Amino acid sequence: MPKRLIRIALIVVGLAAILIWAFRPASVNADFATVERGPLRVTVNEEGQTRVRDRFVVSAPVPGRLLRIDLEPGDPVVADRTVLARFQPTDPALLDVRTRAELEARVRAAESALGGARAEADRVRSDLQFARAELKRTRELVAGGALAARDLEAAEQAVTALERGLESAEFAIRTAEHQLELARASLVQTRAGRATAIPLYSPIDGVVLRVLQESESVVPTGQPLLEVGDLRDLEIVADLLSSAAVAVRPGQGVLIEQWGGGHALHGTVRRVEPSGFTKISALGVEEQRVNVIIDFASSGDQPHSLGDNYRVEVRIVVWSKDDVLKAPTSSLFRNGDTWAVYKVVDGVATLQDVEIGERNGLEAEVLSGLSAGDTLLIYPGDAVRDGVRVVART
């Protein structure tokens, strides 16, 4: 009898164990990560473009005919030596019969005025010569007592007045000569052949960036002809979202990546422009953007292969610390009003509230709730709950 009871008890215990094993919760496959100490850097990431710091646009100083420009983008130029362009001043306009007759009459009038001014000057000069002779005789008579001193003063005044009159007549002659030159210049027509071409020299040492007007043509004053700049002096402009730009300050370090080389370049924020602008994103959303100007940290950090308007990616370091307790951001989720993680303890997922500080796209600073070496679940799915057994995904 006791043996039978023992056998029955063993059968019941076995069935119970089988049922427990069959209906126990299955372990959830998950990915693990470890809380560790190390450096943490928070950056603002955006695309940027290189550009020449000082760009010079060479334009036509006077209207004229531009000769064909033989330079091409990339050609080196030397300040005050390399001829960028040559052009000829505009020829005078052709005159119709009526206009020519009017201008010829104006020339004859100017010639007559010049002749009258010269004749007046000759008359004043003759009167002055006679007045000086009279002054000499008057002085001799006054010295001999034949005339009073008042007569001498009158003679001297007459000479002075005629001298001033002669100066005025000479000024009138020069004025009439200039009027005649002006009248004759209005009759100038296009002559056979062309005037000597006026050269335009490069203002700096550098290269040609763009040729804006290559073919020969007639250009007005101020017409842009080409752009030159020094590729050894580049800067980077990146347009950030205004909400991200508020964290950027001049002097912050910048990592320059995806420029075509195998290593990151270093730069420094020089200026955050005070005025923003509206830009339409690729999804058609209006965004407020702010330009941030970045300098290369040194001339050695700027590779010679970079040129004007090249694409780069910039990472502006807005916060960094060398030794912090950090966890992957993929392990964080919101639990009510706080942040939480699933900490793995003896193969069981345990819900743990944490307090975090600074964070970037990959890691977050842990202020409390975790210790170095703790194992966390990353990307926890819907199957994960507090108390569920978890195993590493194979």
Question: Residues 105, 179: one domain?
Answer: yes
Residue with tokens 């966890």: 327
Q: In this predicted structure, what is the pLDDT of residue 24?
A: 54
Of 150-164, 215-229, 242-256, 286-300, least confident by mean pLDDT is 150-164
The average pLDDT across 97-110 equals: 85
Tell me whether residue 386 is in a domain.
yes
Question: Residues 328, 380: one domain?
Answer: yes
Per residue in 44-74, pLDDT (tens digit) is 999 999 999 999 999 988 888 888 999 999 9
The CATH number of residue 343's host domain is: 2.40.420.20
Q: Hey, which residues does 316 pair with through a beta bridge?
A: 44, 254
The average pLDDT across 274-295 equals: 93
Dig out the tokens for 130 from the structure: 């006679």
Dig out the tokens for 356 from the structure: 């975090």
Tell me whether residue 3 is in a domain.
no
pLDDT at 166 over 80: yes
pLDDT level of residue 92 (50, 70, 90 thresholds):
low
Tell me whether residue 254 is in a domain.
yes
Question: Residues 86, 197: one domain?
Answer: yes
Question: Residues 239, 277: one domain?
Answer: yes
Question: Residues 243, 303: one domain?
Answer: yes
Residue with tokens 């203002």: 203
Note down the domain range covering 250.
Answer: 43-52+231-321
Q: How many angstroms separate the first and last alpha carbons of the chain?
A: 52
Question: Residues 198, 259: one domain?
Answer: no
pLDDT level of residue 267 (50, 70, 90 thresholds):
very high
pLDDT level of residue 192 (50, 70, 90 thresholds):
very low
Portion of the chain with pLDDT greater than 70, in percent: 90
The CATH number of residue 197's host domain is: 2.40.50.100
pLDDT at 313 over 50: yes
Q: How many domains does the chain have?
A: 4
The average pLDDT across 322-338 equals: 92
3-state secondary structure the chain: CHHHHHHHHHHHHHHHHHHHHHHCCCCEEEEEEECEEEEEEEEEEEEEEEEECCEEEEECCCCEEECCCCCCCCCEECCCCCEEEEEEECCCCCCCHHHHHHHHHHHHHHHHHHHHHHHHHHHHHHHHHHHHHHHHHHHHHHHHCCCCHHHHHHHHHHHHHHHHHHHHHHHHHHHHHHHHHHHHHCCCCCCCCCCCCEEEECCCCEEEEEECCCCCEEECCCCEEEEEECCCCEEEEEEEEHHHHCCCCCCCEEEEECCCCCCCEEEEEEEECCCCEEEECCCCCEEEEEEEEEEECCHHHCCCCCCCCCEEEEEEEEEEEEEEEEEEHHHCEEECCEEEEEEEECCEEEEEEEEEEEECCCEEEEEECCCCCCEEEECCCCCCCCCCEEEECC
Q: What is the mean pLDDT of the chain?
A: 86
pLDDT at 82 over 70: yes
Per residue in 216-258, pLDDT (tens digit) is 888 888 899 999 999 989 999 999 999 999 999 999 999 999 9
